[in-house]
A and B are shown apart, each in its own frame.
Chain A
Amino acid sequence: MTESPALAASAPPRSAAHKKYDFSRKYWVFALPAVIVVLSVIVFPWLFTVFMSVHDWKIGGGMDFVGLGNFRTLVFDDRFRESLLITFYFTVLAVVIPIVLGTLAALVFHREFPFRGILRTIFVMPMMATPVAVALVWKMMFHPQLGVLNYLLSLFGIPPSEWVFSTSTVIPTLVMVEVWHWTPLVMLILLGGLAGMPTEPYESAKIDGANSWQMFRFITLPLLWPYIMIALVIRTIDALKVFDIIFVISEGGPGTASETLNIFLYLQAFQFYKLGYSSAVVVIFFTIIVALSLILLYVRQKTKWNS
């Protein structure tokens, strides 16, 4: 940032007033509002959460320093460990399935065919709906006796399902809602990727006699990887923090069968009012999300076209 001697020599002499108000040294003033906002809404809450996580603090009660006591308790808490497993189970399904279906949808909608615009709009519509409203509608449809889904199954001679009212089917059913809701987002990201692809590799491949599968496998997919990685990062973070849909549809039940980390956290913080304990959960959860995001971003760097 220091001026070069040549530049300094050619510059006109500064007036006394200009010297008095040396604006070049006060640029930080313009950054100050942003710094204050970041400090107050990101840094301070974070430091305070970490502070709370090392205290035994319940709303309405006293605050005692317990060091890593909350973290130790969490390690031996069966419900916490179970919720961690459920979260990963849910996340894997809620990421992989939309990625696969979204890729297929993007490949289909990338081609020219009649009514493509209308059909693409219809396909994107679930994404526009509010999650809580979506959850309420699905909940009604899942009713084992009166829901429309079991009626539709009966039309095909398929026995009724208990959907979210069974411990064995609740997670796959919740994943189904997530897939319906967020596959269009993956499709939109990948459509953007497909639209920006060069045509030359395909022309060369055709000349070399490559078939459609070979062109997809060796040209489209490698070129699409960076975009798939973006979709993967977004979907992973989204799936890890899903709360609304699960809370409205199953409330973490039956029993604790769909109690993800977020539902567990909500219970501890807003039902049992254990601020210290729930803050410890937040710290662990944040660490997991950051670690996963870093891994995915690292992989994304590796899949860049220019590398």
Chain B
Amino acid sequence: MTDKFTSDVTRRHLLKTGASLGVLGAVGAPAIISAANAQSSFNWKQAAGQQIDVMLVKNPRSDLLQAAEKEFTELTGIKVSSEQIPEQQQRQKAMIEFSSGRPTFDVTMLALHVQKRLAYKGKWVEDLRPFIDNPAITNPNFDLADFSAAGMNFARQADGALTTIPHFVDFWMLYYNKEMFDKKGVAYPTSMENIVKVAQQLNDPANGIYGFVSRGLKNANIPVWTSWLLGQGLETIDPATGKLNTDGEAAIWAATLYRDLNKNYAPPGTIGFNWNECQTSFMQGRAAMWLDGIGFATPLEDPTKSKVVGKVGYGVTPPGPKAHHSATFADGMGISRASTKKTAAWLYIQFMTGKKEQIAMLKAGAGCPARMSAFADPEATKSSTFSKQYFDCLQASAKIGRPGLPQIIPVTEFRDIFGVALTNTLSGADPAAELKKATETFKPVLEKSEQG
């Protein structure tokens, strides 16, 4: 590279380049200066001296947020008191405190695939559109258009209200063991049906190796089924009409695929596997393919924990018979309606969902940032422990992302009722009968939630 560069550079080239830069500078400078002025004129200190309370979910991304608090305080003069709470307990705390009308936090992280509708219906958090439209409190560089469509789809309510700013988006994809594939000369599956064939080819129980692994534990297993159902171009509940698509032909097809893969080609005991058991099986080189969220990738490339370092392939979920989608999940940050320090809270959200922090998330392998610009940052990809394929998979999945859970209030009941039905299929129950029964059980729950 260096030799070619020096040999090609002539005096004429330098003069041409200099002239071009001069013209560009003359034209572009005012715009750059204007942006810089706008940035420098933005008053980060407007809520200095206040202290805000932040409720986070326990995960590596929250560790990064907490690490950035010192810099935020230096920039704004706002003190942050944050707390990381395990996922399930955090959801319970949010539910109870918001329902009490006096939450103890100003900013909260919400799991949008579970709490989106609940938060809006319960009037938990502020609509952030007026905040974004107010130039006095919004940094001109905030750039809402930079957030991925998948993330914004989750953050925006049906009537257009933006109740959270997306922070993290998780895409479901297929991890695969490249060494196992190469050894048997098998190619990456080209379709969902093809996964069965590939799993069959790679399945070798005599040597403790299984073709496929995915969650079998009730509740946790729902995204596996919905991933397959998205291949039929359907969500479990139609977002436009609210119709349940849970016991039709497509749903039965997806449940049958779920059953066949988990029963015939998965390790024994998969019926009780959550993501961590699946991850352990894959990480120890006992499974050839693993369908799950890309957010679980980090330990796979850690030599102290994994036996498959450098052998992991990151594949986009293969297309189904009618459509090609990746089941998507997202977390977002919202401002508590009861907060008396909303400006300070909004400054916190802007800072923590800013480009710099989102790049830090990508660099640390802590998950998929909601901002698309993070992927364009060469530093983030260059210094990462992940291969280029990982980033390609992320970007490709972002383009075909579609919610992996229905955007309804009783999401937990949905996951429980259908989760049990799917688990029962692994014990020999008929998928069609189980889905019919589950649909009948869930229908009144959904109807009641819409009325109440």
Residues of A within 8 A of B (CB): 58-62, 143-146, 160, 162-167, 170, 250-256, 267, 270-273
Task: Show 18 A/B contacts (Cβ-Cβ < 8 Å), sorted by A.
Answer: A60-B98, A60-B118, A144-B268, A145-B281, A145-B284, A146-B284, A162-B268, A165-B271, A165-B273, A166-B269, A166-B271, A167-B271, A254-B216, A254-B271, A254-B423, A254-B427, A256-B420, A270-B92
Interface flags, B239-280, vs A, CB<8A=1, else 0: 000000000000000000000000000011111110001001
Residues of chain A with a CB closer than 8 A to B216's CB: 254
Query: Could you say which of B99, B122, B268 has the most chain A C-beta atoms within 10 Å of its C-beta?
Result: B268
Which residues of chain B from 387 to 426 have a CB within 8 Å of any chain A CB? Answer: 410, 412-413, 416, 420, 423-424, 426
Select one of A60, A165, A166 contacting B95, CB under 8 A.
A60
Select one of B95, B98, B99, B269 contacting A144, CB under 8 A.
B269
- Contact present for A162 and B427 (CB under 8 Å): no
A147 CB → nearest B CB, Å = 9
Residues of chain A with a CB closer than 8 A to B273's CB: 165
- Contact present for A253 and B218 (CB under 8 Å): yes
**Given A59-B95, A143-B277, A253-B218; A267-B269 close (CB under 8 Å):** no
- Contact present for B268 and A58 (CB under 8 Å): no
Which residue of A is nearest B429, CB measured?
Answer: A255
A270 CB → nearest B CB, Å = 6
- Contact present for A59 and B272 (CB under 8 Å): no
Select one of B270, B412, B426, B452 contacting A61, CB under 8 A.
B452
Select one of B122, B280, B413, B426 contacting A272, CB under 8 A.
B413
| Complex Cα spacing A21 to B277, Å | 72
- Contact present for B427 and A167 (CB under 8 Å): yes
B255 CB → nearest A CB, Å = 14
B404 CB → nearest A CB, Å = 19
B271 CB → nearest A CB, Å = 4
B434 CB → nearest A CB, Å = 10
- Contact present for A165 and B99 (CB under 8 Å): no
**Given A59-B96, A272-B413; A144-B267 close (CB under 8 Å):** yes
- Contact present for A165 and B270 (CB under 8 Å): yes
- Contact present for B272 and A60 (CB under 8 Å): no
- Contact present for B272 and A250 (CB under 8 Å): yes
Select one of A59, A170, A252, A272 contacting B410, CB under 8 A.
A272
B315 CB → nearest A CB, Å = 23
| Complex Cα spacing A253 to B427, Å | 12
- Contact present for A60 and B122 (CB under 8 Å): yes
| Complex Cα spacing A105 to B217, Å | 38
Which residue of B is nearest A170, CB measured?
Answer: B272
| Complex Cα spacing A271 to B270, Å | 24
B208 within 8 A of A: yes
| Complex Cα spacing A164 to B268, Å | 11
| Complex Cα spacing A254 to B122, Å | 33
B286 within 8 A of A: yes
| Complex Cα spacing A254 to B267, Å | 15
- Contact present for B268 and A145 (CB under 8 Å): yes
**Given A254-B218, A255-B420; A163-B269 close (CB under 8 Å):** yes
The interface residues of chain B, by DSSP majority, are classed as helix
Residues of chain A with a CB closer than 8 A to B269's CB: 143-145, 162-163, 165-166
- Contact present for B268 and A165 (CB under 8 Å): yes
A102 CB → nearest B CB, Å = 30
| Complex Cα spacing A146 to B268, Å | 11
Interface flags, B302-317, vs A, CB<8A=1, else 0: 0000000000000000
18 more A-B contacts (CB under 8 A) besides A143-B277, A165-B273? A58-B452, A60-B95, A61-B452, A62-B452, A143-B269, A143-B280, A144-B267, A145-B267, A146-B280, A146-B281, A253-B271, A253-B272, A253-B423, A255-B271, A255-B424, A255-B427, A256-B218, A271-B416
Query: Could you say which of A59, A61, A160, A255 has the most chain B C-beta atoms within 10 Å of its C-beta?
Result: A255
Residues of chain A with a CB closer than 8 A to B218's CB: 251-256
Which residue of B is nearest A254, CB measured?
Answer: B271
A185 CB → nearest B CB, Å = 29
A259 CB → nearest B CB, Å = 9
Which residues of chain B from 118 to 141 have a CB within 8 Å of any chain A CB? Answer: 118, 122
Select one of A60, A61, A145, A167 contacting B208, CB under 8 A.
A145
B313 CB → nearest A CB, Å = 21
| Complex Cα spacing A151 to B286, Å | 15
A264 CB → nearest B CB, Å = 11
Residues of chain B with a CB closer than 8 A to A272's CB: 410, 412-413, 416
| Complex Cα spacing A162 to B219, Å | 20
| Complex Cα spacing A173 to B273, Å | 16
Which residue of A is nearest B425, CB measured?
Answer: A255
| Complex Cα spacing A145 to B280, Å | 10
Residues of chain A with a CB closer than 8 A to B272's CB: 164-166, 170, 250, 253-254
| Complex Cα spacing A273 to B94, Å | 12
| Complex Cα spacing A254 to B429, Å | 13
| Complex Cα spacing A60 to B218, Å | 26
**Given A58-B452, A164-B272, A250-B272; A255-B423 close (CB under 8 Å):** yes
Query: Could you say which of A62, A162, A170 has the most chain B C-beta atoms within 10 Å of its C-beta?
Result: A162
Residues of chain A with a CB closer than 8 A to B284's CB: 145-146
Residues of chain B with a CB closer than 8 A to A271's CB: 412, 416
Residues of chain A with a CB closer than 8 A to B277's CB: 143
Residues of chain A with a CB closer than 8 A to B118's CB: 60
Residues of chain A with a CB closer than 8 A to B280's CB: 143, 146
